[in-house]
Structure 1
């Protein structure tokens, strides 16, 4: 299928085009502001589906709203009529179209133009009124508060919040693109005259800002956000896309002594924590047990042995482990345990505990295996 995408270099356009290619679509006509009318004519003649995403939302002069959101739509439809091309057209409109402001009025005019075109030609038209869209590649300091806040917070730049209680209706870019691809397959979500994207996240500005600052802080306190919440998961992915390119990495605090090192990697409020343990050759670490805390050990480099003994018994159980065969060893409560490096090189063990370490309640009792 030959697909025309107007506004191809915009936020939605870029995300849509890369996903179309991921789905195997190869004949994609990319039209944007630097394209020519001759190119538009060729595309309008040959295309079999149209994603009309081009529009104006931050013009220098108010008249550009109508020129961009109505005028170009008219030009596109005239080209399609010229070649009697009745391809399905998807229009990117806005929830602002229901409001009496210059931008909303111009988007409404574009909608009506497309609806009339559909009635006149019999072409299938799909109009989406998008809420605030956020996600990777959205331009900061333009027309998206989420993009601006993400960009500025990641760079220690100030932000301005006039009212923390303002509620935003937000759509994540991947959800939007998934819906557009469904429309390409004739599976669009529709209610009455309009199509829609699900889900829409209703979130206050204050919560968004607090979450973004917590994401920034997480690189220092090693806390990962609660990604079980769909919105938090999406906002966190969005935030990471705005990190400065020279700040993708960050240091961890390594607790180093003659035995090796122990480094906390990540923590979560509900999924415990992950740490990296490095043991020097011949070193034994551990010799303690827990009432309720439980752990998983995974040796990823080197070789060693993990020993267990139930605290009220004498039998010692051994599990030999190696980075050459990745095996997870559960550390049950009630067993004192240790891990010894039997090799000639450092042994590296990934350790997961079901709870974050609490120095006020460590639940750790030292007893030799």
Structure 2
């Protein structure tokens, strides 16, 4: 059982490490030991961090450096340091290695990853543990670093900033969302496998066109694009992370006459969804949870509200003040804890919209408070 395990994640503060830690918390109630550069720079500190750990998800790696040799040797050095620390602790470890499909190729990065797998597998086997070698394709997802993690992150940030990147050498790329990669890594714990994690092929130009379509609909009018497939939803959440919080809140056009006011709150261009209303008494709060994938919008219809959001495993809180006197809405990014509180003297009326019908067996809703002490 994953929930009973003590799991360490190397590269735990990086892109895939953060996604994996978030998924362990959400679905398995596990708070992993997140290991970063400082831990690997101090062998004694790394050994101490691994004491009491029985499983390691090895994500730390080097994919950019001043030279090809530094890329290759950097991955070997990380594996060597980890293997030495495991041997120093001397207890069995089940290890899952977040390898790359490039390990099958004869290039500096591929050779370094292949040798890293061999080094860590040897240590895990020697100590009586299991070793799973998962070869991952190109990853994308929320909070990837532009110009570093993937072209998807670069495109998302450029388009969210109002710029139009150019595509040279358009071709299809195998892409895997970081949450799907994290799911595969967690599932492999305790097994002895070596396999390529399947991905979905999509054209580079198609990704850019989706972001440009999304920007036109979403950033200017708050309209939700067609997110009827997992790939489109995951690309949309990637764009939303790049655009947050600068584009919020949005105030729709209000049409008024002698009967009162009318304005649109949600216009969705595909898929299913649901809308619902709530009333909240002065001083009371709703929310205090986060989602892995769900797209959710809060619209203040009447009263005064404060919306707080905190990125999971981070400390900083983003706050929005909304009023029914000026109808506005804010979307909740995936993997951000959020709440809404009535800060006025009268009843707060809020409309909520989500992109999926509520499934009580799989609600994609995980309780956590904004004020909870973060670990990053």
Fold match by TM threshold 0.5: yes
Name the residue aligned to 1:62: 68
Distance 1:253 1:271, change over 3 A: farther
Inter-partner Cα distance in structure 2 for 1:118 and 1:250:
52
Q: Is contact 1:265–1:273 with CA below 8 Å preserved after alignment?
A: no
Q: Secondary structure at the match of 1:92?
A: strand
Inter-partner Cα distance in structure 1 for 2:270 and 2:153:
28
Q: Which has the higher contact order (CA 8 A, sep 6+)?
A: 2
Inter-partner Cα distance in structure 2 for 1:2 and 1:155:
41
Q: Secondary structure at the match of 2:90?
A: coil
The superposition leaves residues 109-143 of structure 1 with CA deviations (integer Å, 9 ceiling, x where unpaired) of 11222344455444211111111111112111214
Name the residue aligned to 2:217: 218
Q: Is contact 1:3–1:47 with CA below 8 Å preserved after alignment?
A: yes
Q: Is contact 1:55–1:69 with CA below 8 Å preserved after alignment?
A: yes
After superposition, residues 68-87 of structure 1 pair within 5 angstroms as 68-87=74-93
Is residue 2:242 matched to residue 1:242? yes
Q: Is contact 1:154–1:244 with CA below 8 Å preserved after alignment?
A: no
Name the residue aligned to 1:7: 11
Name the residue aligned to 2:162: 156
Distance 1:256 1:271, change over 3 A: farther
Which runs of no fewer than 5 residues in structure 1 stay unpaired?
276-299, 302-347, 353-369
Distance 1:203 1:194, change over 3 A: same
Q: Is contact 1:59–1:65 with CA below 8 Å preserved after alignment?
A: yes
Shift of 1:39: 1.4
Inter-partner Cα distance in structure 2 for 1:99 and 1:271:
40
Aligned pairs, number = 274
Inter-partner Cα distance in structure 2 for 1:110 and 1:274:
47
Shift of 1:271: 6.4
After superposition, residues 277-288 of structure 1 pair within 5 angstroms as none
Inter-partner Cα distance in structure 1 for 2:87 and 2:75:
19
Q: TM-score, normalised by structure 1?
A: 0.67
Q: TM-score, normalised by structure 2?
A: 0.66
Shift of 1:20: 2.1
Distance 1:270 1:155, change over 3 A: closer
Name the residue aligned to 2:207: 208
Inter-partner Cα distance in structure 2 for 1:48 and 1:20:
15
Distance 1:256 1:131, change over 3 A: same
Q: Secondary structure at the match of 1:113?
A: helix
Name the residue aligned to 1:170: 175
Q: Secondary structure at the match of 2:243?
A: coil
Name the residue aligned to 1:24: 29
Shift of 1:48: 0.6
Inter-partner Cα distance in structure 2 for 1:230 and 1:158:
24
Inter-partner Cα distance in structure 1 for 2:107 and 2:149:
16
Between 1:218-227 and 1:73-82, the stretch displaced more is 218-227
Which runs of no fewer than 5 residues in structure 2 stay unpaired?
276-300, 303-348, 354-376
The superposition leaves residues 316-339 of structure 1 with CA deviations (integer Å, 9 ceiling, x where unpaired) of xxxxxxxxxxxxxxxxxxxxxxxx
Q: Is contact 1:134–1:172 with CA below 8 Å preserved after alignment?
A: yes
Q: CA RMSD in A?
A: 2.9
Between 1:219-228 and 1:232-241, the stretch displaced more is 219-228
| Greater C-alpha radius of gyration | 1
Is residue 2:67 matched to residue 1:96? no
Inter-partner Cα distance in structure 2 for 1:40 and 1:108:
23
Inter-partner Cα distance in structure 1 for 2:43 and 2:51:
12
> After TM superposition, where is structure 1 displaced by more than 6 Å over at least 4 residues in a row?
271-275
